[in-house]
Amino acid sequence: MSKKLVVKINENIVMIQIMILSFLIVNSNIHLPCLPAIQVYYHTSEYMVQLSFIMNAFVAMVISLFYGAAVDFYGRKPILLFSLSLFLLGTLTVIYAETIYLFFLGRLFQSLGDAGGAVTCSVIMADFYKGKVYARIQAILSIVLSLAWAGSPILGGRIFSLFGWKGNFVLVLILSVLMIAPVFFWQERKRVKKHKNPLIRDFPKSIKVIYAKFDSDFVVLSLLQALPLGLFTAFELMLPFIYKRDYGYRIQDLSIAFFIFILINILGSCVYMFFIKRASIKDMFRIASYTILLYFIFGVYFFSIYQSSSEINVYLIYGLLSFSLPFMVISSSTKIIDSYAQHMGIALSLLAIIRNAGTTFIPLLACVLSQNSFHSLFNITLLPTLLTAGLLIRILRRK
Cβ atoms of residues 231 and 363 within 8 Å: no
Q: What is the DSSP letter of 342?
A: G
Q: What is the DSSP letter of 75?
A: -
Give residue 294's pLDDT.
92
Could you please report the per-residue DSSP string of 181-236? HHHHH----S-----SS-HHHHHHHHHHHHHHH--HHHHHHHHHHHHHHHHHHHHH
Give residue 198's pLDDT.
53
Give residue 40's pLDDT.
83
| Exposure on the CB side of residue 397, measured as CA atoms within 13 A | 6
- Please name which of 273, 274, 235 lies closest in space to residue 257, comparing C-alpha atoms: 235
Cβ atoms of residues 46 and 240 within 8 Å: no
What class, spelled out in words, does domain 10-185+202-397 have in CATH?
Answer: mainly alpha
Give residue 287's pLDDT.
92
Q: Which secondary structure element, helix H or strand E, spans residue 51, and what is its range?
A: helix 46-74
Give residue 74's pLDDT.
76
Give residue 288's pLDDT.
92
d(CA 74, CA 137): 26
The burial of 148, by beta-carbon neighbours within 10 Å (0-12 exposed, 13-18 middle, 19 or more buried), is given as buried
d(CA 334, CA 282): 11
Give residue 286's pLDDT.
92
Query: pLDDT below 50 — which residues of the chain?
Result: 1-9
